[in-house]
Structure 1
Amino acid sequence: MTPFDILLQQIAFIHEIDKLKYITRKTRLFNSDRHENDAEHSWHLAMMALVLAEHANEPVDVLKVVKMLLLHDLVEIDAGDTFLFDTVLNHANTEAERKAALRIFGLLPQKQADEFLQLWEEFEAGETAEAKFARTMDRLEPLLQNVSNQGGTWREYNVSYERVMQKTEGMQNGSRTLYDFAVALMDSSVEKGILKKAETDI
């Protein structure tokens, strides 16, 4: 394969991932009624990782974290976005997402395709320090958005404090500091009435 052939494959991939800008998420931009798209989400997470890396539980390769965050949602070009608090669909790696990863990364030259697929799989597994911290960013951003929007999707979809906590708990694997910060925000949101605890029988 010639260098020009390699370039053509890379350009084809660049064209394909432009579609990420059209994948709309349920969450809205900070202090806004406009829904965020997946490309904005990935960029924001990457910037957050650059800014917040010092708060990771253990030293991380920040470039690797940024790569994971820019790659992790590309599969949604084919598989679509699953709402974090969906009660029907599981917000986890699915066969549809893996099929999408193979197709989209497969547009690239083999060496890059293999690297990107490995990074995507590492993020999904959530076992390395980098993956744990990247996943912490992925949980922190929508929490910040919902707080800024006076409850946002929590109020819109009647999501309880307990449900948010369930989705937030994993943050402590990547950053105990950011997890504690998130819990404090959630508790404050309950006090302000923008996040409600589930009703229980007494």
Structure 2
Amino acid sequence: MEYISPENVLKFLDLVHRLKHSSRRGWELCQVNNHEQIASHMYAMGIMTFLLGNDSQLDRFKCLQLALVHDLAECIVGDITPHDNISEEKKHEMEDEAMKELTSYVGSEIGSLIYNLYKEYEAKETPEAKFVKDLDRFDMLFTAAHYESRDQTPKKLQEFFDATEGKFNHPYIKKLVETLEQRRKKEIVSIENSK
């Protein structure tokens, strides 16, 4: 078993713990009060991997791992949004360098595991990575709908729904999105009628 110095583990944890206090910038830019942190989003995605039944063809544990590492780079580079005017290529380059730095603190065995999971998610070629990307988008929509309902601001976060339209692939996630959109429409009507 590879020895990992406790000092390096603490460096790794110092970086990862930043995610507990780092805002999801999309909500910040839309001036949503009391919005989630990056770690909250990753936690929600992790919980959603349990929605995969035992009869699923997907590896639930792999999906959980992918959900937990997919935004780890943001502990170093921050939550880069399209509003930051950074190209997708540059964003991926920055995040890749951040993941290399982050995983260097936990030794080659654990570091390689985390880095390879991150690369699998980024490539979006495996069924599990595609499913987790759908979870990522769905969690964003679910959270947007929650904020609109909570704050009584119908359609305030419509841009998030527009940006993901037609981008879901997994049949179950598609059904969740459809159900969420139906619920959101009812909420919008209810809010508008109460004014």
Q: TM-score band, normalised by the shorter chain?
A: 0.7 to 0.9
2:97 maps to which residue? 99
Q: Which whole-Å CA distance do the structure 2 matches of 1:154 and 1:124 have between them?
A: 33
Distance in 2, Cα, partners of 1:109 & 1:165: 42
- What is the match of residue 134 of structure 1? 132
Q: Deviations over 1:31-77 (max 9, x none)?
A: x9411111111111101111x11399x51111111111111111011
Matched AA of 1:176 = P
Distance, in Å, in 1 between the alignment partners of 2:188 and 2:130 is 31
Aligned-pair distance for 1:166? 4.1
Q: Letter of the aligned partner of 1:170 in structure 2?
A: K
Q: TM-score under structure 1 normalisation?
A: 0.74
Which residue in the other structure is 2:116 paired with? 118
Q: Which amino acid aligns with 1:137?
A: L
Deviation digits for residues 132-177 of structure 1, max 9, x if unmatched? 1111111111211111222679844662xxx6244243321xx212
The correspondence of residues 160-175 of structure 1 with structure 2, limited to 5 A, is 164-172=161-169, 175=170
1:1-202 matches, cutoff 5 A: 3=3, 5-25=4-24, 26-27=26-27, 33-50=33-50, 52-54=51-53, 59-83=57-81, 86=83, 88-89=85-86, 94-150=92-148, 155-156=155-156, 159=159, 164-172=161-169, 175-186=170-181, 189-190=184-185, 193=188
State the alpha-carbon separation in 2 of the partners of residues 63 and 145 from structure 1. Answer: 24
Residue 99 (structure 1) shift:
0.9
Deviations 1:91-130 (A, max 9, x none): 7852111111111111111111111111001001111011
Change (3 A) 1:76 1:144: same
Tell me if the contact between 1:24 and 1:38 (Cα under 8 Å) persists in the aligned partners.
yes
In the aligned structure 2, how far is the partner of 1:55 from the partner of 1:27? 34
d(CA) in 2 for partners of 1:64 and 1:137? Answer: 14
Of structures 1 and 2, the one scoring higher in RCO (CA 8 A, sep 6+) is: 1
User: Is 1:68–1:131's contact at 8 Å kept on the other side of the alignment?
Assistant: yes
Matching residue of 1:198: none
Q: Which residue identity is paired with 2:141?
A: L
Count of residues in correspondence between the two structures: 182
The TM-score normalised by the length of structure 2 is 0.76
- Percent identity reads 21
